[in-house]
Amino acid sequence: SAVISQKPSRDICQRGTSLTIQCQVDSQVTMMFWYRQQPGQSLTLIATANQGSEATYESGFVIDKFPISRPNLTFSTLTVSNMSPEDSSIYLCSVEGTSGRIRNEQFFGPGTRLTVL
């Protein structure tokens, strides 16, 4: 399995500021995914982070609001820009296994719990 860590684990931020969330994986992976989970809801995919190219965003999410970096095969960041209280959510980083027994199995980080005041 893949071990994924995220920083920070939680934060409380003021409206209008930005927060960058870091995701570190213990092995090289081609694709990393960023999800948002609003209170009481299931997960919603924000974007797929590809190493060496721009991230692919899902409908309803834009690069200006959620810029993503993917400098190498084990690391990615998601920035939540110009935050409002509606951005209060858990943000999760995920990778998908690509070989052997863990092919197609998706692994998730512990999440970053963001509260915007």
- Nearer to other proteins by Cβ, of 13 and 90: the residue is 90
What residues make contact with other proteins under the rule CB under 8 A? 4, 31, 33, 41-45, 48, 90, 92, 94, 96, 104-111, 113
Nearer to other proteins, 30 or 82 (CB): 30
Q: Are 36 and 59 in contact (CB under 8 A)?
A: no
Between 101 and 117, name the residue whose CB sits nearer to other proteins. Answer: 101
- For 88, other C-beta atoms within 10 Å of its C-beta total 17
What secondary structure does DSSP assign to 68-102, as a single string?
EEEEETTEEEEEE-S--GGG-EEEEEEEE--SGGG
CB of 6 to other proteins, least distance (A): 9
Least distance to other proteins, CB of residue 96, Å = 7
- State the DSSP code for 36: E
CB of 111 to other proteins, least distance (A): 5
Longest CA pairwise span in the chain (Å) = 45
Pick between residue 77 and residue 94 the one whose CB is nearest to other proteins: 94
